[in-house]
Structure 1
Amino acid sequence: MLPIDEKALRGAFVNASRKEVADMTLPAWFDRADWDALDLLGWRDPRIARRGYAILPDLDGEPVGVLLRQAEASPRSRAQCNWCQDVRLPNDVVFWSAKRAGAAGRKGDTVGTLVCESFQCSANARKPPTAPYDGYDVLAARDRRVDELRLRVAGFADVLRHGR
């Protein structure tokens, strides 16, 4: 992910009001983020329960800011993250919803997805998978997982903005 400064980050939000963006708390680690190890920037708001934020690069690499709300109910069984699709998750997965951008969002249309509770998707995708057989290219498999994560994140951003 390309580095982003606070001003650009706040300006990237497509489904939040100016007040919601102004009230947003950046993560404490924002100034120390390892941009080379991130495919998305996601965090939970420490001041507002069940609120999260994500900066998702779209298919052109442009940042799309998304305000997310965590559902009150948890999945009944062990859920799989729709973004990283890690089957060995060390963390919980929750349902996040987001208002669509523009007129659709103003009339109440939302998009939802199951995502890692604290947005650990980049780290999960970069964990080397176990080799199922001798000669299995673990690094290529890891790179493929990262590429697929980027495509799924960009697809979510596209659906949120354009409804497709």
Structure 2
Amino acid sequence: MRPLTEEDVRASFVNAVADDLRLLALPADFMITDWDHLDFLAWRDPRSRGRGYVITEIDGRAAGVVLRAAEGVSRARSGMCNLCHTMQPGDQVTLFTARKAGAAGQHGDSVGTYMCADLSCHETVRLAAPLAPNEVRASVDRRIDGTRERTEAFVERVLEGRAA
């Protein structure tokens, strides 16, 4: 991923309203981010556990999405993150929703998917072995590529609202 400044990050959000940008808190380690190692940037807001952010590149440009985490605790024993396809204990997978971009989002349309609760998918797929016995044993490179592609697809679903 190409290096981003704080201004680039704030300008990248396709579904943010003025309050979202005002409340946005960058991750504590933002200044030392190893951009060459990232396929996408994702983090939970350190000031509000209900907010999260994902930034990826779409058509060579940074595209960010403001996320809202579902409230409550999952009763499931386990769940699968739809980005990194990793099985996790139920309390470590959360439903995140994102308001669609443009007019669709202004009318209340949103998309959602289950993600690692701490948004650490980028690191999770780099583990050499799957975390659960029933996970498909794929190469680390294939897991990384798949996670990046699914993250881009999620952001593109949010972007579909711009044309509406």
Q: TM over 0.5, yes or no?
A: yes
Closer/same/farther in 2, CA of residues 117 and 61 from structure 1, 3 Å limit: farther
Counterpart position of 1:25? 25
- Equivalent residue letter for 1:117: A
Counterpart position of 2:75? 76
Superposition TM-score, scaled by structure 1 size: 0.85
- Equivalent residue letter for 2:144: V
Closer/same/farther in 2, CA of residues 86 and 36 from structure 1, 3 Å limit: farther
Counterpart position of 2:148? 150
More strand as a share of residues:
2
Residues 9-158 of structure 1 aligned to structure 2 (within 5 Å): 9-58=9-58, 60-77=59-76, 78-87=78-87, 92-129=92-129, 141-158=139-156
Closer/same/farther in 2, CA of residues 96 and 17 from structure 1, 3 Å limit: same
Bigger mean CA deviation after superposition, 48-57 or 113-122: 48-57
**2:56–2:151 contact (8 Å) kept in structure 1:** yes
- Equivalent residue letter for 2:143: R
Rounded to whole Å, the distance in 2 between the matches of 1:88 and 1:102 is 33
Rounded to whole Å, the distance in 1 between the matches of 2:26 and 2:55 is 12
Any idea what the Cα deviations from partners look like across 1:101-155, whole Å, max 9, x if unmatched?
000000000100101111111111111126xxxxxxx9x8110111111110110
RMSD: 2.1
- Equivalent residue letter for 1:35: W
Closer/same/farther in 2, CA of residues 129 and 49 from structure 1, 3 Å limit: closer
- The 4+ residue runs of structure 1 with deviation greater than 6 A are none
Instruction: Give the superposition deviation at 1:88.
Output: 6.1
Question: What residue ranges of structure 1 are gaps of 5+ in the alignment?
Answer: 131-137
Identity %: 41
Superposition TM-score, scaled by structure 2 size: 0.85
